[in-house]
Amino acid sequence: MLNAFAQKRRLTLALTTLGFVASMGVAQATDFTGAGATFPAPAYTAWSADYKAKTGSSLNYQAIGSGGGQKQILARTVDFGASDAPMESKQLADGKLLQFPAVIGSVVLIVNLDGVKPNEIKLDGATLGDIYLGKIAKWNDPAIVKLNPDIKLPDLAIQPVYRSDGSGTTYVYTTYLADVSADWKGKVGAATSVSWPAGTGAKGNDGVAGAVKNAKGAIGYVEYVYAAANGLTTTQLGNKAGKFVPPTVPAFQAAAANADWKGAKDFAASMINTAGDTTWPIVSATFILLPKDPKDTAASLEVMKFFDWAFKDGGAVAEKLHYIPLPAAVQDDVRKAWKAEIKDGSGAPVYK
């Protein structure tokens, strides 16, 4: 029989062992935070659930818009920021940030018109520019009728809907409009937030989708997953080759295939209005902003491990949500950038 001292010693050892095991379990799971773009939020949400089931580590992602994501990471209130609009090189350098792409998505047009089937109506860049400039105000305007001679278009006011918040989706859409409409480029330009000549604003991709769904005659721009999830009516769009194409994953892939990743600084390769008969003209990568000098190296490492896992194992989930995974060569270049750019306090790479 053990004496009282031996029993106490064994109990102490047991509790110490349990504490060690518990601490090991906690160390294996690291919670981390991100904020920003709504454009990729469905993919990040789906990836987060799968990643937590696999690793125990939990991502808290707040879809507050690209402008908010940039502000949050510059203030270091989150572990990573997310933005559809790539930051300029000087901004990245001043903020000590590494920018890398996470996934590729597309912006589509949605309309609310009785009797018009999905992808039945045709629009082009010049017409869209004039709609959002307020120059085309009705659906039976001759410019729209000319593109759609077989559709009976109503004598109905067009209600353009745009993003009211600082938005990478807006940056992508207005970059497209500036590329295809000289009038738009000269009067409005491209940015995450612009002074809209016509229409009403709504917050987030989901807000625009909801506003269009609830207003007859409305038109808006959203990331494709929001159109698909809400059963909204998308349109065909004229591309650079002069062909009208519906929004489909093969059309998005065709645009992504033409991107100049090697020549792009800070991974900001353009996929706007690229060549090819089958390309969808409004395609873009969405970006992650990660501090090069993280205060919390464990959380920073978990961010990189999360996206490394997403590159390897999250492609099928992304494709189900109508996103396009990054090309394998781009994924490898991102990993090289992590190793070279993200350092701990001693100057050693955080990602190895």
Decide whether 33-105+284-341 matches 107-258+269-283 in CATH topology.
yes
* Mean pLDDT confidence for 159-173: 92
Return all residues near 321 (Cβ < 8 A) that are at least 6 apart.
42, 43, 46, 225
Give the chain's mean pLDDT. 91
Express as a percent the part of the chain with pLDDT over 70: 92
Q: Per-residue pLDDT tens for 283-331?
A: 999 999 999 999 999 999 999 999 999 999 999 999 998 899 998 999 9
Specify the pLDDT at position 342. Answer: 97
Q: At what angle do helices 328-341 and 297-313 cross, to 10 degrees?
A: 170
- Out of 3.40.50.1970, 3.40.190.10, 3.60.21.10, 3.40.50.970, select the CATH number for domain 33-105+284-341: 3.40.190.10
Specify the pLDDT at position 229. Answer: 82
Look at the alpha carbons of 191, 193, 199, 202 in this order and tell me if their dihedral is positive or negative.
positive
Specify the pLDDT at position 348. Answer: 95
Specify the pLDDT at position 51. Answer: 97
Round to whole Å and give the CA distance between 227 and 222. Answer: 7
Domain ranges of the chain: 33-105+284-341, 107-258+269-283
* Mean pLDDT confidence for 41-52: 96
Model confidence at 341, in pLDDT bands (50, 70, 90)?
A: very high
- With contact defined as beta carbons under 8 Å apart, do 235 and 123 qualify? yes
Q: Give me the architecture of the 107-258+269-283 domain, per CATH.
A: 3-Layer(aba) Sandwich (3.40)
* Mean pLDDT confidence for 187-211: 94
Specify the pLDDT at position 228. Answer: 85
* Mean pLDDT confidence for 147-169: 94
* Mean pLDDT confidence for 86-115: 96
Round to whole Å and give the CA distance between 172 and 189. Answer: 11
pLDDT surpassing 70 at residue 24 = no
Residue 214 CB-density burial (10 A; 0-12 exposed, 13-18 middle, 19+ buried): exposed
SS (H, E, C) the chain: CCCHHHHHHHHHHHHHHHHHHHHHHHHHCCCEEEEECCCCHHHHHHHHHHHHHHHCCCEEEEECCHHHHHHHHHCCCCCEEEECCCCCHHHHHHHCEEEEEEEEEEEEEEECCCCCCCCCCEECHHHHHHHHHCCCCECCCHHHHHHCCCCCCCCCECEEEEECCCCHHHHHHHHHHHHHCHHHHHHCCCCCCCCCCCCEEECHHHHHHHHHHCCCCEEEEEEHHHHHHCCCEECEEECCCCCEECCCHHHHHHHHHCCCCCCCHHHCCCEECCCCCCCCCEEEEEEEEEECCCCCHHHHHHHHHHHHHHHHHCHHHHHHCCCECCCHHHHHHHHHHHHHHCECCCCCECCC
Specify the pLDDT at position 322. Answer: 87
Specify the pLDDT at position 143. Answer: 98
Model confidence at 20, in pLDDT bands (50, 70, 90)?
A: very low
